[in-house]
Amino acid sequence: MNHDTEKKPVDVLRQRDDVIRYWEELTDYYLEFGTTIQAGVFRTPDFDGYSLEASNHAFLSRAGLQSGEVVLDAGCGVGGPCLYAATHIPDLEIHGITISPYQAKIAQRLIDNSPVSDRVHVHIGDYHELPFPDGMFDRVLFLESAGYSLQFKLLFSEIARVLRVGGSIYIKDVFCREGELSAVEAEEMAEFRRITVCGIPTMTQVVSALKASGFSSLWALNITPLVITKPREAEFGLPRFRTFSNLPVVWGEIIARRPPV
Ligand SMILES: C[S@@+](CC[C@H](N)C(=O)[O-])C[C@H]1O[C@@H](n2cnc3c(N)ncnc32)[C@H](O)[C@@H]1O
């Protein structure tokens, strides 16, 4: 499976079902590592190891979240980053949406047991068709979740709809590296996409789709040197785990603004 804005509806529906099944099967395994479900996390100056807590701390300032904002976390997993953000930023209201009913149930339990339950909300749904009014959000976050989309044109016009004028989108994700892939790289990439049921576009594909949807002030940075991946031993037990020797992926960060109409 590869990313393509012109995918046939049948491919899109099949992939949606695959994503729901994937998270039903694997969410409990990821929860052994914590409630933030990301393959690569930020290193910080104070801590050079793999720490979801330190990474969430770094992400808050990189995404520039501010007190008083209303934020959408698109593809929110079990709500770890939502809860971290609401706990550390006063008056932040955050809505997470996941396509996985299984994850949403766990997220709701975590929210109910947190002291910020009045400011964190979880929804079940597809981020291509959001159950929110126009201009509701100051920011939209995609934390290792945008790459699942096979329909960027639809996705970013929907995100532009729910963002207020001047609001911004923050994407942090795994991307396929730019340029020609060797035969081994192409084989591993295809297998990685199949296992993870994720389209894994290049950064250029995402930036072009954002521009085509009218986003401006684009910032796109290869953040691979700032990221540390899960230690290998932490992957044991994951049913779909396999090792890759030449996987052509990079981590990237993209920020863009919804300009005035
Ligand atoms: C790797 S997890 C990241 C979870 C979360 N952002 C975090 O950092 O903990 C990917 C998430 O994207 C969600 N996702 C994938 N496709 C989606 C879609 N079409 N609509 C909503 N959520 C989607 C999955 O359900 C899952 O929650």
pLDDT digits (tens, 9 = 90+) for 117-172: 999 999 999 999 999 999 999 999 999 999 999 999 999 999 999 999 999 999 99
Average the pLDDT over 200-210 and give the result. 97
**3-class DSSP state of 223:** coil
How far is 31 from 98, CA to CA, in rounded Å? Answer: 16
233: left (phi over 0), alpha (psi -120 to 50) or beta: alpha
Q: Using the mean position of ligand 1's atoms as its centre, give its distance from the Cα of residue 127 in Å.
A: 9
The pocket around ligand 1, CB under 6 angstroms, is made up of: 19, 23, 36-38, 75-77, 80-81, 97-100, 103, 126-128, 143-145, 148
Q: Using the mean position of ligand 1's atoms as its centre, give its distance from the Cα of residue 98 in Å.
A: 6
pLDDT of residue 3: 53
pLDDT of residue 1: 47
Domain 9-257 -> CATH class: alpha beta
- Pick the range with the lowest mean pLDDT from 10-14, 87-91, 257-261: 257-261
How far is 144 from 54, CA to CA, in rounded Å? Answer: 17
Percentage above 90 pLDDT, the chain: 81
Mutate to test the pocket of ligand 1, among 1, 148, 253 (most ligand atoms within 8 A of CB): 148
pLDDT of residue 198: 94
Q: Cβ(158)–Cβ(214) under 8 Å?
A: no
Cα dihedral 64/116/29/104 (nearest 10) = -100
Supply the pTM of this predicted model. Answer: 0.95
pLDDT of residue 50: 84
Reported as a single tens digit per residue, the pLDDT across 170-196 is: 999 999 999 999 999 999 999 999 999
- 118 φ, ψ to 5°? -75, -15
Instruction: Name residue, tokens 């007190």.
Output: 67
Q: Using the mean position of ligand 1's atoms as its centre, give its distance from the Cα of residue 184 in Å.
A: 28
pLDDT of residue 236: 63
pLDDT of residue 2: 46
Give the count of beta carbons closer than 10 Å to the beta carbon of residue 103.
25
Mutate to test the pocket of ligand 1, among 1, 98, 200 (most ligand atoms within 8 A of CB): 98
Based on its alpha-carbon atoms, the radius of gyration of the chain, rounded to whole angstroms, reads 17
* Confidence grade of residue 259 (pLDDT, cut at 50, 70, 90): confident
How far is 32 from 21, CA to CA, in rounded Å? Answer: 19
Q: Cβ(256)–Cβ(220) under 8 Å?
A: no
Is pLDDT of 222 > 90? yes
Reported as a single tens digit per residue, the pLDDT across 102-121 is: 999 999 999 999 999 999 99
Amino acid occupying residue 114: S
Give, using CA atoms, the residue closest to atom 4 of ligand 1: 77
Q: Using the mean position of ligand 1's atoms as its centre, give its distance from the Cα of residue 45 in Å.
A: 28
Q: Locate the domains of the chain by residue range.
A: 9-257
